[in-house]
Every structure is written in C-alpha cells, then in structure tokens.
C-alpha cells in the first residue's frame, strides 16, 4: 500500500481517522478494560459534541487542534497488531510465487497429476489470451 496521498480525503474521513487513532492511543495507555471503556466513552462524547458544526473553518480548526492534542498525548510504545506493518509477525509467512511449481521434480508432480494437468492447460490458455490481446513478442536480432 502506498503512503502517498493520491486522492482528496473528505473532512468526515479525517475525523473518523482521528477518532480511531485516538481510541487506539487510549487503548495503549490503559491496560484495565473498565478504565479503557470509561476513557473511550469520554472520548466519544468529545467527538459527539462537535458533530453538528456546519462552519467548515471551525471544523477544520477543531480537527487540527485534535491532531496536535493526539500528537502530544501519544503513547511511548503504541500497541501494534502482530501481522500489521511494524508488528512482530509482519511478513513472517512467505507465500511462494506460482513459478516455483515449474521447478518441481517430475516425481513430485506425479503425486498431483490432475492439478498439474489443469495447471498446464491454464498456462496455455493464458499464453493464448496474452498473444491475442498484446500480440506475439518480437525477437530482436543482434
């Protein structure tokens, strides 16, 4: 996933993102579930107070203040999900690419004859589709 912003993000999505990040930050600060829930309810109430503001300048100013407040209250060691980027298990399970099966020994392929027959058929169909769509590759002479 790209970290570059490629489209305009609406004010509503920015507010939802701020709320979610603030909630995750609150979760990192409080290990006790009842205390976390209490703080989460207070956080939600703060967001609900300002949900009916129609003036976009005021709403944008509140959003900026909220971003600054969240930054100043950040946890020193935020919680991360194990399989998310930065988590302890991120990228641990490597999915081998499909071409690895082309290098299997014929004795290994013999254990799965239907699968490899269907795979070879699909590879031929893909090559035909490619040549029909993009044409045959042109060989260059040196």
1 belongs to a structural domain? no
Q: Residue 100's pLDDT is what? A: 95
* Distance from C-alpha of 113 to C-alpha of 117, rounded to nearest angstrom: 6
4 belongs to a structural domain? no
67 with 102, same domain?
no
Reported as a pLDDT band with limits 50, 70 and 90, residue 1 is low
% of the chain beyond a pLDDT of 70? 97
Q: Residue 136's pLDDT is what? A: 87
Q: Residue 20's pLDDT is what? A: 96
**Domain limits at 126?**
98-134
84 belongs to a structural domain? no
Contact 19, 66 (CB under 8 A): no
Q: Which residue has the tokens 């589709």?
A: 129
Report which of 76, 77, 78 is spatially closest to residue 20, judged by C-alpha positions: 78
Lowest mean per-residue pLDDT among 2-16, 40-54, 115-129? 2-16
Q: Residue 142's pLDDT is what? A: 67
On the question of pLDDT at 35 being above 60, the answer is yes
Q: Give DSSP secondary structure letters for 26-78.
A: HHHH--SHHHHHHHHHHHHHHHHHTTT---HHHHHHHHHHHHHHHHHT--SS-
On the question of pLDDT at 133 being above 60, the answer is yes
DSSP 8-state secondary structure symbol assigned to residue 5: -
15 with 63, same domain?
yes
- Maximal C-alpha separation, the chain: 74
Q: Residue 139's pLDDT is what? A: 80
Q: For the chain, how many structural domains are there in total?
A: 2
């Amino acid at each position: 996933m790209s970290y570059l912003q490629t489209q305009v993000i609406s004010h509503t999505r920015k507010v939802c993102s701020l709320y979610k990040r603030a909630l995750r930050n609150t979760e990192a600060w409080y290990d006790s579930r009842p205390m976390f829930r209490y703080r989460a309810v207070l956080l939600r109430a703060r967001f609900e107070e300002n949900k009916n503001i129609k003036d976009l300048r005021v709403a944008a100013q509140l959003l900026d203040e909220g971003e600054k407040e969240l930054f100043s209250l950040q946890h020193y060691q935020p919680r991360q999900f194990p399989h998310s980027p930065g988590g302890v298990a991120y990228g641990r399970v490597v999915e081998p690419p499909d071409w690895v099966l082309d290098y299997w020994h014929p004795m290994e392929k013999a254990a799965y004859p239907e699968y490899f027959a269907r795979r070879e058929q699909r590879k031929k169909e893909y090559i035909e589709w490619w040549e029909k769509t993009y044409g045959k590759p042109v060989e260059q002479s040196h």
